[in-house]
Structure 1
Amino acid sequence: MAVATVGMVADLVREIGGDRVEVVQIMGSGVDPHLYKTTRDDVRELMRGDLIFYSGLMLEGKMTDTLEKIGRTKPVYAVTERIRPEYLLEPEDSAGHSDPHVWMDVSAWAQCIVVVAQALSEYDPEHAEEYTQAAARYAAELEELHRYGQERIASVPAERRLLITSHDAFNYFGRAYDLEVVGVQGLSTESEAGLQQINRLVDLIVDREVQAVFVESSVPRKNIESLIDGARSRGHEVVIGSELYSDAMGPEGTYEGTYIGMLDHNITRVARALGGQAPDRGLRGQLRPAGASPENSSAAGEGEG
């Protein structure tokens, strides 16, 4: 049994482990890992696991001490450990920590595949070839998704490539797909958005005539709504372009509840909201239609290849 912290990591282990590996996921859809506190049940699951996988780079901030303690007695892997240090972003307000949201760049997250494949192969060498083949297949799928991201965002007019979101989870997304990204809050949702920052972003929205801003599934909407109200008070109408997935994937059992579905959703919705060209149902034709309820979208995930 493998235990994973967040959905993106759990999905990576499921894709490579296949039917050979039972995966237990600690944090579900809509859960903010920055604020998550480990429960007794979590510790029990972690202790039951044969291998433990987490994202790393301080994403699971309040759980890090627990993971380090358990790592003294059983294999614990940070899937981001193989990403080259020079590739990582370190924003000015990050207190010396690298930005942990590397999965927002599909080409970066693909670098994590080898960590999982090697860990499973070492633990279960009898089926190592199966894990290697699954890793190669999944890497090819992520390469296709990354190209889709580059092409769809490239279709957005250059002057409209400004992505304003609830917190700074999209810096790797911006670098990978050539978008200017601004978050109301900092890297962690523990940081508060001050009135000065809100006013500065309202100025930006009005001056640049921004048409759409974005909320996140795991972060309260209040700060984005403050931006909309502030812009309206100055005679400029801006709308919520879509709800994006940042620190958590979509509902379990849906296409958006997979890593590929999560990024397909983000790429497609951002491109369309900012004036670019992208199919409403995304790369694989499996996204729920824009505006559809997540609770009624399980059919959107059926037939995923």
Structure 2
Amino acid sequence: MTHLVHHRHRPTALAAALVLVGTLLLGLTACTTTTGAQRPGVVVTTDILGDITREIVGDQAEVTVLMGPGADPHSFGVSAPQAAKIEQADLIVHNGLGLEENVLRHVEAAREAGVDALAVGEGVDPLTYASDDMAGRPDPHFWTDPLRVRTAVRLITDRLIEHVDGVDAAVVR
């Protein structure tokens, strides 16, 4: 008789253990998913602006840089996963001034869909080219001037604080 009672409780104990393990795993998955979904996303076109943006935002947002070191911004093409990231971003930080020619249409499409975008080069009072073929046109390579980079930092910081929900202004400042 003791043997029969023991078998009756074994399936119940096993079922309870499986339910407990399943509940724990589900809880862990839910925590991971919720945290990832609530973290804002910032897409940055170039690695230099990516470095600056990462330093500013810290762990307040996920920063995705489209062009890695050594990529040519004049000929860079956006992949399908990158285009999706652009469309889903809370903010797009790009150089502007004609630097990322092949990325601009994606930035413009996202902007038209309601994604905020910051053309940093346009706000740093860029130098102008002096050569004959480009004379008078703004030079998009503003990162060679520390004062213009300081202005860029302020522009990115302000835009993050003002337009990206979930970013703690005190932490970013």
Q: Which of residues 21, 24, 28 is equivalent to 2:61?
A: 21
Is the aligned partner of 1:88 residue 2:141?
no
Secondary structure at 1:71 match in 2: helix
Please name the residue that 1:30 is paired with: 70
Establish whether residue 121 from structure 1 lines up as the match of residue 125 from structure 2: no
1:142-167 per-position Cα deviation (integer Å, ceiling 9, x unaligned): xxxxxxxxxxxxxxxxxxxxxxxxxx
Q: 1:95 to 1:65 in 2, by over 3 A?
A: farther
Deviations 1:164-205 (Å, cap 9, x if unpaired)? xxxxxxxxxxxxxxxxxxxxxxxxxxxxxxxxxxxxxxxxxx
**Runs (4+) of structure 1 moved beyond 4 Å?**
none
Unmatched 5+ residue regions in structure 1?
A: 133-305
Look up the match of 1:50.
90
Distance in 2 (CA, whole Å) between partners of 1:20 and 1:108 is 24
Distance, in Å, in 2 between the alignment partners of 1:11 and 1:120 is 15
From the two aligned structures, give the one with the greater helix fraction.
2
Instruction: Quote the offset at 1:96 in angstroms.
Output: 5.7
Q: What displacement does 1:95 show? A: 7.0
> Is contact 2:123-2:155 (8 Å) kept?
yes
Aligned to 1:109: 149
What is the match of residue 79 of structure 1? 120
Alignment of 1:1-305 (within 5 A): 1-72=41-112, 73-84=114-125, 87-91=126-130, 92-94=132-134, 97-122=137-162, 123-124=164-165, 127-132=168-173
Could you give the per-residue CA deviations for residues 207-238 of structure 1, whole angstroms, max 9, x where no partner exists? xxxxxxxxxxxxxxxxxxxxxxxxxxxxxxxx
Query: Per-residue deviation at 1:90?
Result: 2.4
User: Quick one: which amino acid aligns to residue 30 of structure 1?
Assistant: G
**Structure 2-normalised TM-score?**
0.68
Q: Deviations over 1:276-303 (max 9, x none)?
A: xxxxxxxxxxxxxxxxxxxxxxxxxxxx
State how far apart, in whole Å, the 1-side matches of 2:70 and 2:167 are.
Answer: 37
TM-score by length of 1: 0.40
**Aligned-partner SS, 2:75:** coil
SS where residue 109 of structure 1 aligns? helix
Instruction: Report how many aligned residue pairs link the two structures.
Output: 130
CA RMSD of aligned residues (A): 1.8
Q: Distance in 1 between matches of 2:135 and 2:101?
A: 13
Q: Which residue of 1 aligns with 2:34?
A: none
Q: Which residue of structure 2 aligns with residue 226 of structure 1?
A: none
Higher radius of gyration, 1 or 2: 2
Following superposition, the deviation at residue 82 of structure 1 comes to: 2.0
Structure 2 stretches of 5 or more lacking a match?
1-40
Q: Which amino acid aligns with 1:40?
A: A
Q: Which has the higher contact order (CA 8 A, sep 6+)?
A: 2
Q: Match of 1:220?
A: none
Distance 1:88 1:99 in 2: 6
Larger mean CA deviation between 24-33 and 122-131 belongs to: 122-131
Distance 1:37 1:98, change over 3 A: same
Paired letter, 1:38: V
**Partner amino acid for 2:68?**
G
State the identity %.
31
How many Å separate the matches in 2 of 1:13 and 1:43? 19
Query: Structure 2 counterpart of 1:74, which letter?
Result: V
